[in-house]
Structure 1
Amino acid sequence: MPTTQFQVRKDRLETTRTVVLPDEPLADGEVRVRIEHFAYTSNNITYAAFGDAMNYWQFFLVAPQGDTPDGGDRAWGLIPVWGFGVVQETRCAGVAVGERLYGYWPMASGVVLRPARVSPQGFFDGAPHRAALHPVYNQYLRCAADPLHDAAHEAQLALLRPLFLTAWLIDDFLADNHFFGTCEGGQRGAMLLSSASSKTAYATAAQLARRPEVEVVGLTSAANVAFCESLGVYGRVLTYEQLDTLATNTPCVYVDFAGNGALRKAIHSRFSALAYSCSIGGTHVDQLSGARDLPGPRPVLFFAPAQAKKRHGDWGAAGFNERMARAWQAFMDQVTQPAAPWLAVQTHRGPDAVQAAHALVLGGRGDPRLGHMLSLLD
């Protein structure tokens, strides 16, 4: 069966194409995985926006199409996504046809992996072009052995699990650094979260809300205020135009999920007691800008794998996984509460539907309560 790929121009994310490639025979040690469905959120737009700076384009290389003199398609990329696949063909001992996997995939109907460090829990992709990339993105989990896997909630897992891990690590990073002194002397530090309706932001807010020493302030557009307030994890929800309702001397930390340069400048200029500026992502792709010549602390890009590595050293792998699993279960209880679930799953199947979902998420026009699950399978 041929493989369908959804490719984007690296420099113009709104420009896309669908490419159908014939499947090549597997080499010894390789497996072919059918990618059944994957989540698509503003987090994936962040992967694309920071694709060159943080090597996200390196995970899944575009096959040559002859667009450049050397035959490579350097202008095009495959946005990485999280989701589920099934082993369709194998020439790797220890990995069987029919095994269901959770992991990091290209936007495609299938992919070839080279399993390494195979264990009862899963394996890592040992492809040479991924060798220098962070292992957290190279690991594939066997669903049959994954303690978090729930067949009835695969969509929620794909949509929220990678975002939740980042959110949980942001909360841990801030607490590990004592909220950068904003809570000294009995005062409550204000954690300012932009793009508050985004899934990573509200997952972070859900963790921070359990810490009485801080106040979680969500910043969002007027259209999303009611949604953010309905979650019950923000102490206050303000529109971007209401920043002036916070005192200029408020001890605060800025957690930037939007990547909006004008908003970052406004926050740095307004708050004289801004203790730390943490950049997470770039949901406002059209307004991304640098961090030069800003008053106050220089923005620092948060890299979740670095905090994960630190905590693996502090707690060990078992301790890390146990803490994360407890926090995940508590978060899922909030997300799936029957009376008012936080997430409604919408499925998109086929290249045209995937293109429409990409345009919707890229444009930031989606309903924050919707979670998009995509598939390029016919």
Structure 2
Amino acid sequence: MTTTLLVRKDRPGEARLAAADDAALDAGQVRVRVERFALTANNVTYAAFGDAMQYWRFFPSAEEGWGVVPVWGFGTVVQSAHAGVAVGERLWGYWPMAGSAVLQPRKLSPEGFADGAPHRAELHPVYNFYARCNADPFYSADSEDLQALLRPLFTTSWLIDDFPADRQFFGARRVLLSSASSKTAYGTAFQLRQREGIELVGLTSAANRAFCESLGCYDRVLAYEDFAQLDPAVPSVYVDFAGNARFRKTVHEQLADLRYDCAVGGTHVAELGGGADLPGPRPTLFFAPAHAKKRQQEWGLDAFNRRLLAGWQAFRDRAGDPAAPWLRVRTSEGADAALQAWQQLAAGGTEPAAGHIVALRG
């Protein structure tokens, strides 16, 4: 029997548990026990943009109006009807918030395989790939929790950093990042900090301002209500991880020289909204896999992976520095604890220094 955490599609803060018997495997399938996965603001974004970005399609729910939010983490093969995948193999990848998942491996290599389930055929291959931990250069056994919490977010951060740089920052001299305490935002700031001539401004709640300042990634950190302190004439790029429609309106109305509005996330679930009828550039949704594909074609896959790996290792080492860690890992064991962790996260009640790992089990 497998327990699954279901989320209400139109109200991500509403969730419940459902249990069902495991079906027998078909030829060519494997069953993976989902052992540990991360819960971050990125998963709230998956729910908030579940229809627009097709996140609900990865692990379809049979219950109308309810969906399964994808998560990143580790699993172990517990049953196999595929000759190329052995019981006991440990995998990194994209999982349902559930105790187990059934995959249909194809395009096998020593490094991993893709899920060939028909319903995932049209979805982006970045999310369909499962890495074999024993051949994964990004993997280290002593930092699994950090990998689950930060690795997929950092890939997005790394790509967001490269995106405006590839376009000479649209002529801007300042980058503003909302939801600056979120892991994807400060991962982006960690990368942008290495570029010259760009001022980085983190925008956050008053309660999270001290945390953001402690990271050392931002040149300046402001609470949202202090936004008017910024010089409106400085050419700026806005990278929006919050998705707060009211605050986006403030940004567009108060900045006289806003060059680009890069919409990334939706951590402010209750304040989500569109970008119509705003002065300045129209908000443009950033889709990380599309920019990854562009760079892989330009640089070649090996060079792309080498650059990403070097960036990841530097970020992982800084975020996990025992002397001054950016994250304190908290583990939720069992279905009820997993449900509570999701509800807390969706309500915005998680302190930024906490990293939530879930072991749903069953």
Q: Show the counterpart of 2:259.
A: 275
Offset of residue 74 of structure 1: 2.3
Q: 1:100 Cα shift? A: 0.1
- Could you say which residue in structure 2 is the equivalent of 1:152? 142
Letter in 2 for 1:21: A
Tell me what 1:121 maps to: 111
8 Å contact from structure 2 (residues 15, 343) kept in 1 = no
Is 1:339 the equivalent of 2:323? yes
Give the distance between the partners of 2:40 and 2:245, measured in 1 at CA.
21
Q: Which runs of 5+ in 2 are unaligned?
A: none
Kindly state the Cα deviation for residue 292 of structure 1 after the two structures are TM-superposed. Answer: 0.4
Q: Is the 8 A contact 2:14 2:343 kept in 1?
A: no
1:1-378 matches, within 5 Å, as 2-62=1-61, 64=62, 73-182=63-172, 189-377=173-361
- Please list the CA deviations of residues 255-308 of structure 1 after superposition, one character each: whole Å capped at 9, or x if unmatched: 000000011000000111100000000000000011000000000000000110
Shift of 1:338: 2.1
TM-score, normalised to structure 1's length?
A: 0.95
Letter in 1 for 2:334: G
What number of residue pairs does the alignment pair up?
362
CA distance in 2, matches of 1:333, 1:42: 21
How far apart, CA to CA, are the structure 1 residues paired with 2:5 and 2:98? 6
Alpha carbon RMSD of aligned pairs, Å? 0.8
Matched-pair contact (CA < 8 Å) for 2:243–2:267: yes
Greater than 3 Å deviation, 4+ residue runs: none
Gaps of at least 5 residues in structure 1 are: 65-72, 183-188
1:339 offset after TM fit, Å?
1.7
Residue of structure 2 in register with 1:68 after alignment: none
Deviations 1:143-179 (A, max 9, x none): 0000111111100000000000000000000100100
- SS of equivalent to 2:267: coil
Q: Higher RCO, 1 or 2 (CA under 8 Å, sep at least 6)?
A: 2
* Identical amino acids, percent of aligned pairs: 58
Letter in 2 for 1:26: L
Deviation at 1:356, TM superposition (A): 1.1
State how far apart, in whole Å, the 2-side matches of 1:144 and 1:346 are.
Answer: 26
Q: Cα offset for 1:58?
A: 0.1
| Distance apart, 1:375 and its partner CA | 1.6
Q: Distance in 1 between matches of 2:50 and 2:156?
A: 17
Instruction: Say which is worse superposed, 272-281 or 8-17, in terms of deviation.
Output: 8-17
* Structure 2 partner of 1:185: none
Q: Distance in 2 between matches of 1:240 and 1:342?
A: 22
CA distance in 2, matches of 1:350, 1:41: 18
* SS across alignment from 1:14: coil
Residues in 2 aligned to 1:74 and 1:126: alpha-carbon distance in whole angstroms: 25
AA partner of residue 40 (structure 2): T
Answer yes or no: is the 8 Å Cα contact 2:36–2:358 preserved in 1: yes
Q: Supply the distance in 2 between the matched residues of 1:308 and 1:49 (Cα, whole angstroms).
A: 22
Distance 2:4 2:322 in 1: 37
For 1:15 and 1:210, locate their aligned partners in 2 and report how far apart those are by CA, in whole Å.
Answer: 40
Of 8-17 and 222-231, deviating more is: 8-17
Q: Hey, what's the Cα distance between the residues in 1 that align with 2:262 and 2:278?
A: 14
Q: CA deviation at 1:15?
A: 2.1
The alpha carbon displacement at 1:14 in A equals 2.3
